[in-house]
Structure 1
């Protein structure tokens, strides 16, 4: 078994380290700060797990991913997913087409009229006429930070080593292997390197000793500093809110119970609501400011006033987060000359974390190539 260095300890890096270590590989994880820190894309307790994809490839991938999540919960001995169910609505979301895909991949669902949905979920305003509303009860909310901790704990129990405060500056060839150089000059030797650097990848990509042809075929990455807001429930005693995605020609919004991220006080909580890709582009994670866009804040507040009568349209908390997008919203997972670059990104990668960890581990070890559409030039 060869030695591996994994760069980054967010959801994908933690999943990859776990999947490698449980296969008997020697693994070192280098994390620039601390696992699931607030400057990355895996912090907090609220990420959506949903099956609603128009592309059957991704819908099937969620089904496979849920199997991996179930195993992870069993091995970790703790719950990582809170079942809430999910609603998809809006003329731009095409609930009927989504329902057809869920039927093909065997996911339980209901296609309702707007009136039927309004009777069941009066805290929402379903005003898109004949578009319909899709409900699938198997969806839920992933506790991202706890999931990272669980996967790293299992990885370390299998022999992996975690080094924090180790931002990576470059990867160099070193004989038949590689030398991973930290910003402070410290180095790690490895046969193979896996880079799961999230929003830092655009700055790092050119320093990984990758072939020019590989870099030329790599899809452009756009890092977005996104805005998210927490709105209080008008009546928290009404029961658990579902996650939702609502798309019209004017706006694409998602929402989910905020978990610990939304805890205002003992017994108080709220719904996390955000406009998808409603933030601003930045060069890389290093350029993030953490500043909320006031225009976007007003836009989302107006949306809540129109569409979510069950929420008080006054956010009590707000935050920024990072999305790293490819033009097609497909992930990138590919291995060349002993270096694997993994960017399961575009705002929808979290739900696949333990499965992607396995895919990345198999790609890096040569056991099995990643799906063609994830490969550079695929």
Structure 2
């Protein structure tokens, strides 16, 4: 998916750098400098920022003590994205320091040995993130488009689903540990000193056709992209149709909309970053049928793919922070502490009043039945008064400590 692949049983590619003609006898090329700028400088910086962002995202979602299903899936997504960025840094960014600068030679030599294991791991992490996004899309589709469904978003069920995604990713990509023979960075041509990332895979035609071409493209690209597109397309249409009908939900509607907006933005970014990678897989699969000039140009496109993978895994934190109201609240409390005179409470920002709220907890309903909490009759407000209800509930003096809560994520 992310590298120039050759089917061969020859082990020479990994040792080609050491056994080939001395670099001083080769013509200088432009690819090493280009790869250094894109893969080491830009992609490396994206990875470092993304690693920090995913750690913060995980901590913020972890502080949601009730751990709703959406929050749990986003925690798992932060973990898999963290692994993608770490693997990208280890396998693509750091090794390419040496070809252009001559530094980090010890790491470069070590990389030629352990990269045979990090190569399959990269696919495992990407598969995990992709199908976690599919799982999140399914949850939001059922919650918004099928609200009367018998399916229950219980944490126990969501945990099983998340674990199932991780196990599927490992099982599906396990054959890659046996398929890959050698991974390394070597000279791209016989004339210049330009170096590129290459792999040597088993030369088995049946395995190539069934697993590398059909199954990999279907389960890593075609199926998830199709499912995500259909579900989120229906989600957008449903939200557009029901926008006016749900306007009375006030703050709760805003909370729900922030969740849906986060999902839609993350999906759009995923589609933008994944589509070129899918196209590159096709080029790689049928590379021998393309003109030599096309494959030489592909070497310049390859670092862009590394960057797209890193961006897709790093940008989610900024989406959460810009769109997620609840996320910003917890993040602010994480660094600045709770507001003066209040304790850190997972229900901060949830004390709202709505004309009709079937999601109230049993405890809140019991508290509400002890006496008149909201003086709609006296104030002339409420759903039957003809006047809009205030954003803040008017509590009686005997019940000011009782708050009606609604649980939502972010």
Classify the TM-score, shorter chain.
under 0.3
Q: Structure 2 length as normaliser, TM-score?
A: 0.26
Answer 1 or 2: which has greater helix percent: 2
Answer 1 or 2: which has greater strand percent: 1
